[in-house]
Structure 1
Amino acid sequence: MERKAEYCLTQIFHYLVNGLAAIVFFCCIAYSGYALWDNWSILKEPDQVREDLIRYKPANEEELSYSFQELKAMNPDVCGWLTLDHTKIDYPVVQGTDNFEYLEKDVLGNPSVAGSIFLDAKSDRNFHDFYTVIMGHHMQGRKMFGDIDLYTDASFFEKNTTGTLYVEGRILKLETVAILKADAYDKYVYRTDWKEKEEKEELIRHIYELAVHTWGERLTVEDQMIALSTCSSGNTNGRHLLICKVIKENTVEGSETE
């Protein structure tokens, strides 16, 4: 009898252990499935928003005024549309009251881990500054500003140098001139109020000191620059900045700017 009781207890114990192991296994499977779904959802968010808005992207000068009227009707914080040729960077640009507002909010104002492509809160929303900073998250799957990494490759950098920034009333043609590795607290590349000639020259020197690759003629104080900033992988405070120069500006008659 004692052996039978001991055997029964052993079997019950084995059943409990196996049952618990099965529960843990299925919980792991469920969690892994949820994690994959959650990651897919996060990566899908920016594409979905862009698909919803792409029909409002200005295709030419004739459509510029209408496109911005439609975009600003959905969100008055919209101030531009940025496209870099041969990349997936093709998004509307917004400007918040500070540089935190659109970190986790999409262009339509909805909560989003991917955030938005946004203009530095201290920059001129009409893009007349000597040096302007636009920021966006570094996302997997080449989402948001994930493609800025491509420019760290010398071959890609040299072969892909063009882009367009559509702003209300104007179309700015861009040329990429440098890709930088910088720190999030760099006192030069995240400053936007450059007035004096000597200060501007100092910024230009600093840009070339940080440059991984450069292209074209050296920047001058007469140039207008647009810096595209995102996080770099492997370093909490590491940043990549793609420096673009405005090489041509088309003004569209009949468009109103603030």
Structure 2
Amino acid sequence: MKTKKTLKPWVTNVISILLLAIIGYSGYKIIKIKMDESKTIKIQNEYKLPNIKNDDASEDVESYSEKFNSLKVMNNDFKGWIVFESGLIDLPFVQAKDNDFYLRRNFDKEYSSHGSIFQDYSQDLNGRNITLYGHYVYNNADIMFTPLSTLKDKNSYEANKYFSLYLDREVRKYVIGAVIKYSLTDEPLYQIGDQTDEEFLQFIKYIDTHKLFDTNEEINIDDKLVSLQTCIRNEDDSRWLIIGKLVEVNEIQ
């Protein structure tokens, strides 16, 4: 008669330890994701643009200046806010000496898988094409640049096509001229930093031939642009690129 074979005690112990390690690591990852999400939401709520739509314009300016200066003291890399009129996005943005620093750091310069919204390190705010980067967050559709993915739908575009950059002394209003799905395997999309007229015209041509739908917003060589860039869900080699065209500048005084 055959006897039933059993696992040796040490094998059972090893398997148990491995299972516990897997469960423990999975639990840690879930907790870390939730902690990052909680911090990101807290920063978005606390550091968003102050209400400047009161009846008293002088109080508006004072409130704005106080908020701007307080964030500048907290983080000298702070440049301003990007705010959609619809409320789709309301976030501070920063600029470091390279594009890696804020990729995994929040506004408080603490580690965060969500990073920050940041301007390309090589650009200044007077360039003809400013690039702002932000993460797509898989587990929360409402934070960072994740909401930009909704603009692929024409109806969502129409409802969210205006945004502004709130800077130290002025507000720049933009209309979205194009929504583009960009593949990193394509030819270089645009030159980061200063662009020659020829390079800028090539970029405009790319925009015109790759936009998902017609926005009836023409972009030409005299325009000042903002490019908002974020990842695409489950497509590591692709990016959403939202092109905003400057339509209005108002001083804050």
For Structure 1 versus Structure 2, the TM-score category normalised by the shorter chain is: 0.7 to 0.9
1:224 maps onto 2:216 in alignment = no
Which of residues 39, 51, 65 is equivalent to 1:59? Answer: 51
Aligned to 1:191: 192
Mapped to 2, the partners of 1:227 and 1:220 lie a distance apart of 15
1:131 is matched with 129
- CA displacement, residues 172-196 of structure 1 (integer Å, 9 cap, x when unaligned): 1221121111134752335231243
Aligned twin of 1:256: none
Please identify the structure whose Cα radius of gyration is greater. 1
CA contact (8 A) 1:179 1:214 kept: no
- Distance (whole Å) between structure 1 residues aligned to residue 183 and residue 191 of structure 2: 10
Question: Using the alignment, how far apart are the partners of 2:24 and 2:105 within structure 1?
Answer: 28
CA apart distance, 1:159 = 2.6
- Structure-2 residue corresponding to 1:34: 28
Report the residue type matching 1:50 in the other structure: Q
Q: Which residue of 1 aligns with 2:78?
A: 78
Distance change >3 Å, CA 103–CA 190, structure 1 → 2? farther
Q: Distance in 2 between matches of 1:22 and 1:84?
A: 52
Q: For 2:84 and 2:26, how far apart are their aligned partners in 1?
A: 35
Distance 1:160 1:107, change over 3 A: same
The more displaced of 207-216 and 98-107 is 207-216
Q: Deviations over 1:84-116 (max 9, x none)?
A: 244542211100001111111111211222111
Asked if the contact 1:45–1:114 (Cα under 8 Å) also holds between the matched residues in 2, the reply is: no
Report deviation, 1:139: 1.1
CA distance, structure 2, for counterparts of residue 190 and residue 211 of structure 1: 18
Give the aligned partner of residue 47 of structure 1.
41
CA contact (8 A) 2:190 2:199 kept: no
The alpha-carbon deviation at position 200 of structure 1 amounts to 2.8
Letter matched to residue 37 of structure 1 = I
Amino acid at match of 1:187: P
- Aligned length, in residue pairs: 242
Deviates more, 1:216-225 or 1:82-91: 82-91
Tell me whether 63-72 or 92-101 shows the greater mean CA deviation: 63-72
CA distance in 2, matches of 1:100, 1:118: 10
For residue 148 of structure 1, report the CA deviation from its aligned partner: 1.2
Q: 1:104 to 1:11 in 2, by over 3 A?
A: same
> Are the counterparts in 2 of residues 43 and 139 from structure 1 also a CA contact under 8 Å?
no
- Quick one: structure 1 residues 97 and 25, their matched pair in 2 at CA, closer, same or farther if it must change by over 3 Å? closer
Q: Which structure 2 residues correspond to residues 1-258 of structure 1 after superposition, within 5 A?
A: 28-54=22-48, 57-60=49-52, 62=61, 63-86=63-86, 88-124=88-124, 127-140=125-138, 141-142=140-141, 143-184=143-184, 186-196=187-197, 198-253=198-253
Distance verdict in 2 for CA 1:201–1:25, change over 3 Å:
closer
Shift of 1:133: 0.5
Percent identical residues:
25
Q: Return the structure number with greater helix share.
A: 1
* Contact in 1 for aligned 2:175/2:245 (Cα 8 Å): yes
Give the 3 Å change call, closer, same or farther, for CA 86–33 of structure 1 in structure 2.
Answer: farther
* One-letter amino acid of the structure 2 residue matched with residue 53 of structure 1: Y
TM-score in terms of structure 1 length: 0.81
TM-score (norm 2): 0.82
Aligned-residue Cα RMSD (Å) equals: 2.8
C-alpha separation in 1, matches of 2:233 and 2:148: 12
